[in-house]
A and B are shown apart, each in its own frame.
Chain A
């Protein structure tokens, strides 16, 4: 992707290592700046350091710290961070979404349809652009 704008930083938190890697590869091929973490604790320690990503793509059920708690922590660093949850339990996530400490861009159900994710990422990019101006 030839990018006229600054790199769009995506942080993927997914405990299935091979799924996380393949998703990261697809996203990189599509021009996103991708970082990956495989559990909640490492995700939080990464978020504690600058720079904060534009979008957080998190699973809900994760070792140590769940996805919504990670989102909440990310918000404490950057209130405008965009959050997409990818989960096998969308009903539960919808019920406890308030724990994310702010609105969720989307709750996508596993198995993830990749095109649905990139559509949400483009919405998020637009929203971030507005937030930064």
Chain B
């Protein structure tokens, strides 16, 4: 409805031929009809309440009284006027109220018909020509009201009908905005890498996870060919051609695409990409979505597991072999013992006696190797219990004391005043410390003697055990001292430190070493049983 209220009202008035004369006639009749307004209003609502559906609209007497008052005001205005714009607005409001309460239009027509009859009845008593003039004015005024009411009724009805559609549209728009926001956030904050590329495989979308892994900023990445931006140089040519084919829609995307991705600060990471080709006719120009996951750690774990399974299998085999070696060694050593004795008794020359002694020494060395190897290859899991590390150290000291004295080595305990307790297998820790101490004693003895310190320290959550010696130090910082079969000692098995490493890591501890000529410290760090740990005695 584009017309203004004035023009609509003017049009309606012209249509029913309502003019100033009508207003004057109504005003003149007003004094006659006014005393009857109350009675007419009561009768009007009595009639209305006779209707079957009345209960839907009328609730109680107070409401009826209010409505009667409103009807009386309506009648007053009908006769008193003025029939101007404010009159139009007032009548239009009544129409809208009727729409709101859901009053069917036919009741308005019948209602107005009731009013017309009531007024006409009163006008019948007027003398002519007033009677004719008044009845005509009443008729026009009632028609005018009816027209206004129906007109606004229609407008309001339309409005009411259109409102759900508009509200639905607004709801959808807001939902779309929300889902766009959600989508943007989902992409942005996802823990997977999300990279979108255009038909030339240039980056058009680069989320935060992609920034974090690569160290590239979004601004830096946008517009670059994806392969050049992310992949190590040697992979770019092949993978680039492949990705361009996919982005251009020439070949379907591979099931998954596993490729190394360069990082700014770290080694390249292995990323598994899922590619989704989704060419779009509008906006952003993303035709290919690459959703990537860093699988480096997962793969490394899988490889480690495989390796340790292989090692376990090899270990089982090797342990069986090592055990079997002990039987022939046993025979060899017994016979060597017999030979030594026979040669001595027969007064054989010193060289022959030494030769046999050497064989015996070699057999014993082989035996030590088997023993160490079995510990290394078939480690039984630690049987952990809360254990005093000071007590373990004291036991180790008592065992090595004799060997130390032979090499002119002083072994000194430097134990924590408050005993550190750790949840460990004390026999295994003892074995590890024995190996460390024997190495330290050998190292110091090789320089003619000196001092070895076995130290414990109690730190807030950790227990530290140190073996410090004054020996010549390790061959170099990169010497693979913890590797199996690495040894600098002429008669070493090369398994001592490998066993130490295995034992400490089996206890989730760490071992590190500092070394220079004159001072070498092996430091074992184990989790301490703390006062707050439940159910574990201190």
**CB under 8 Å from chain A, chain B span 302-361:** 323-324, 326-327, 329-335, 337-338, 341
A-B CB pair tally, cutoff 8 Å:
53
**Is A19 touching B330 in the complex (CB atoms < 8 A)?**
yes
Does B364 sit at the interface, judged by CB under 8 A?
yes
Report chain A residues within 8 Å CB of B330.
16, 19, 86, 88, 110-112
**Is A22 touching B335 in the complex (CB atoms < 8 A)?**
yes
> What DSSP secondary structure best describes chain B's contact surface?
helix
Distance between A9 CB and nearest chain B CB, rounded to angstroms = 21
Give the docked Cα–Cα distance between A29 and B334 (Å). Answer: 14
Chain B 358-385: CB-based contact to A (< 8 A → 1; otherwise 0)? 0000011001000100100000100000
**Is A16 touching B326 in the complex (CB atoms < 8 A)?**
no
A-side interface size class: 10 to 19
Report chain B residues within 8 Å CB of A25.
338
Chain B 18-53: CB-based contact to A (< 8 A → 1; otherwise 0)? 000000000000000000000000000000000000
Give the docked Cα–Cα distance between A48 and B197 (Å). Answer: 90
**Is B331 touching A88 in the complex (CB atoms < 8 A)?**
no
**Is A109 touching B338 in the complex (CB atoms < 8 A)?**
no
Report chain B residues within 8 Å CB of A109.
326, 367, 371
**Is B363 touching A111 in the complex (CB atoms < 8 A)?**
yes
**Is B364 touching A18 in the complex (CB atoms < 8 A)?**
no
**Is B334 touching A88 in the complex (CB atoms < 8 A)?**
no
**Is A88 touching B323 in the complex (CB atoms < 8 A)?**
yes
Does A3 sit at the interface, judged by CB under 8 A?
no
Report chain A residues within 8 Å CB of B324.
88
Does A106 sit at the interface, judged by CB under 8 A?
no
**CB under 8 Å from chain A, chain B span 58-103:** none
**Is B323 touching A112 in the complex (CB atoms < 8 A)?**
no
Interface residues, chain A, CB within 8 Å of chain B?
16, 18-19, 22-23, 25-26, 29, 86, 88-89, 91, 109-114
Q: Please give me the 6 A-B residue pairs with the lowest Cβ-Cβ distance, nearest first.
A: A88-B326, A110-B330, A111-B329, A111-B333, A110-B326, A111-B330
Kindly list 13 other residue pairs between chains A and B, CB separation below 8 angstroms, not including A25-B338, A26-B337, A109-B326. Answer: A16-B327, A19-B330, A26-B334, A86-B330, A88-B324, A88-B327, A110-B367, A111-B333, A111-B363, A112-B330, A112-B334, A113-B364, A114-B333
